[in-house]
Amino acid sequence: MINRIIDICAKNKFLVFLFISVGVLIGVHSMKNTKLDAIPDLSDTQVIVYSKWDRSPDIMEDQVTYPITSALLGLPRVKDIRGFSDFGYSYVYIIFEEGTDIYWARSRTLEYLNSVVPRLPKGVEVELAKDATTVGWVYQYALVDTTGQFSIEKIRSYQDWYLRYALQSVPGVAEVAPLGGFVRQYQVNIDPNKLLGYRIPINMVVDAIGKSNNDVGARLVEMSGREYMVRGRGYIKSLDDIGNIVVMSNPQTGTPVLVKDLATVTFGPDMRRGVGELDGHGEVVGGVVIMRFGEDAQKVIERVKQRITDIEPTLPKGLKIVTTYDRSDLIDRSVDNLKHTLIEELIIVSLVIMIFLWHFPSAIIPIITIPITVILAFIPIQISGMSANIMSLGGIAIAIGAMIDAAVVVVAKPRIHDGTRARLRWERTACHARSQLWLYGSRRRVYQLPNTVQSARGF
């Protein structure tokens, strides 16, 4: 079979070069469109259901995690379901079979969640996690105040309400997770002694604040041939708005009891379970850019950097965005390592062939075939949707060694065979000349020739 393939290729050289040229063009196109990443994504197709409720882990397990897990058991193409309960949190991991489309899996999960969410306790917040993977952490930055005029709270507010939305709109970004700083809150610190003096339960204060922070709409009023829209505006915009909310009124005198009569209203930070610190210079606010499932990490990072470059002129004076993690550096070094290995091995093989065989055309064969083989290897990578990462590029670099061995054998074998044939041809000529001299010197007497001459004549 191999001999037939070799014969066909030898007889149809034009078609062979044509097919190789087409394959190289397709390979170059595949190289340009292959996704680049440093870390291979070996995770399964999974959907995470996240629930939040301020309860203990045992209550979260019985009333949230177990009902959600039971309702999702009938999902199609599901391989495994895992539930974890923590204080105030619940995570349900749905692992799907290999090859399942991530967005098909998310839509099926939402369909089944619609039937179980109404049966959960009041106050449980259920949502799907972002469409990212465990290796989606591709970029991280920090907001540094070089002038010292901004507090950590103000920097965090700028990060949450401006910078995060600008980066989250970049194509390929699933989420921008904030890190560090304080989340600003309106805090009402109630005095229990005043509640006892006014005989007001704390639930009444909570309900009054909740009902006062709302806009309402009414019907239209027609006057003099015109229509007037009636609405009530009640959104809280300042601390005084909260302090002037009426909790109740004295039934005898009609005097209102306001929130500021019962509590102190201030700005304050939310509870936090960690801090962000940069190079030992103190606390900073940062963000983590999470890549969407199946995206090209290199291109996503380039888009994020371009967006940061566009945003920097609009930053408040004194704030600076500092890159703390950038995976593109590792990706570039991986690609450069493959290029360096390929060039290095081509030079070594060429020198070896030139030194031992002393034949320049033979050295051209591995110089041409090895790069072509590497280019053709990107075609199945791009078709399968895989990314070119450390493992795949390292495998190509290792395979270059095997290809070099094959190229050296293919080049050296014909040279050795040609040398053997030339040596035998020279021995046959020499033996024939010796026999002629022997016959001439013996005055045409015929003698038995040596075995070496006979073997040479019989060749």
Range among 351-360, 369-378, 414-423 rated most confident: 369-378
pLDDT band at 443 (very low <50, low <70, confident <90, very high): very low
Each residue of 61-78: pLDDT tens digit? 999 999 999 989 888 999
Q: What is the CATH number of the domain that holds 90?
A: 3.30.70.1430
Each residue of 11-37: pLDDT tens digit? 888 888 888 889 889 988 888 888 877
pLDDT at position 425 is 54
Q: Are residues 103 and 26 in the same domain?
A: no
Q: Do the domain assignments include residue 46? A: yes
Q: Are residues 30 and 55 in the same domain?
A: no
Q: Do the domain assignments include residue 254? A: yes
pLDDT at position 304 is 94
Q: Which two tokens stand for residue 441?
A: 């010197």
pLDDT band at 357 (very low <50, low <70, confident <90, very high): low
Higher pLDDT, 182 or 369: 182
Mean pLDDT of all residues in 162-166: 91
- Provide the sign of the torsion angle of the four alpha carbons 96, 102, 105, 109, taken in this order: positive
Instruction: Tell me how crowded residue 67 is: count the other CB atoms within 10 A of its CB.
Output: 16
Mean pLDDT of all residues in 178-183: 88
Each residue of 271-305: pLDDT tens digit? 888 888 888 888 899 999 999 988 888 899 999 99
Q: Which two tokens stand for residue 15?
A: 């078609």
How far apart are alpha carbons 400 and 346 in whole angstroms?
Answer: 9
| The total number of structural domains that make up the chain | 3
Q: Are residues 244 and 191 in the same domain?
A: yes
* Domain termination site, one of 222, 254, 269: 269
pLDDT band at 1 (very low <50, low <70, confident <90, very high): confident
Q: Do the domain assignments include residue 261? A: yes
How far apart are alpha carbons 14 and 16 in whole angstroms?
Answer: 5
Q: What is the CATH number of the domain that holds 26?
A: 1.20.1640.10
The percent of residues above 90 in pLDDT, for the chain, comes to 24
pLDDT at position 140 is 93
143 neighbors 318 (Cβ within 8 angstroms): no
Mean pLDDT of all residues in 231-235: 83
Each residue of 36-70: pLDDT tens digit? 777 787 788 899 999 999 889 999 999 999 999 99
Q: Are residues 33 and 87 in the same domain?
A: no
pLDDT at position 74 is 85
Q: Are residues 60 and 101 in the same domain?
A: yes
Q: Is 388 strand, coil or helix?
A: strand
Tokens 């700083």 belong to residue: 181
How does DSSP classify residue 245? -
Residues paired with residue 221 on neighbouring β-strands, in sequence order: 228
Q: Are residues 9 and 79 in the same domain?
A: no
How far apart are alpha carbons 175 and 101 in whole angstroms?
Answer: 20
pLDDT at position 249 is 85
Q: Do the domain assignments include residue 322? A: no
Each residue of 314-342: pLDDT tens digit? 898 889 999 999 988 888 888 888 778 77
Q: What is the CATH number of the domain that holds 242?
A: 3.30.2090.10
Q: Which domain holds residue 221?
A: 185-269
pLDDT band at 411 (very low <50, low <70, confident <90, very high): low
Each residue of 186-230: pLDDT tens digit? 899 999 999 888 888 999 999 999 888 888 877 888 888 888 888
Q: Is the pLDDT of residue 442 over 50?
A: no
Q: Are residues 23 and 45 in the same domain?
A: no
Q: Is the pLDDT of residue 308 over 90?
A: yes
pLDDT at position 95 is 93
Mean pLDDT computed over every residue of the chain: 82
Q: Do the domain assignments include residue 440? A: no
pLDDT at position 374 is 82
266 neighbors 189 (Cβ within 8 angstroms): yes
Q: Are residues 71 and 7 in the same domain?
A: no
Q: Are residues 31 and 98 in the same domain?
A: no
Strand 387-388 vs strand 35-36: parallel, antiparallel, or unpaired? parallel
Q: Are residues 339 and 372 in the same domain?
A: yes
How far apart are alpha carbons 264 and 193 in whole angstroms?
Answer: 13
Q: Do the domain assignments include residue 28? A: yes
The DSSP code sequence of 151-192 is -HHHHHHHIIIIIHHHHHTSTTEEEEEEESS--EEEEEEE-H
Q: Are residues 247 and 201 in the same domain?
A: yes
Q: Do the domain assignments include residue 13? A: yes
Q: Do the domain assignments include residue 320? A: no
How many residues would you count in the chain?
459
Q: Is the pLDDT of residue 6 over 60?
A: yes
Q: Are residues 58 and 16 in the same domain?
A: no
Q: Is the pLDDT of residue 385 over 80?
A: no
pLDDT band at 85 (very low <50, low <70, confident <90, very high): very high
pLDDT at position 454 is 41
* Domain termination site, one of 97, 129, 161: 129
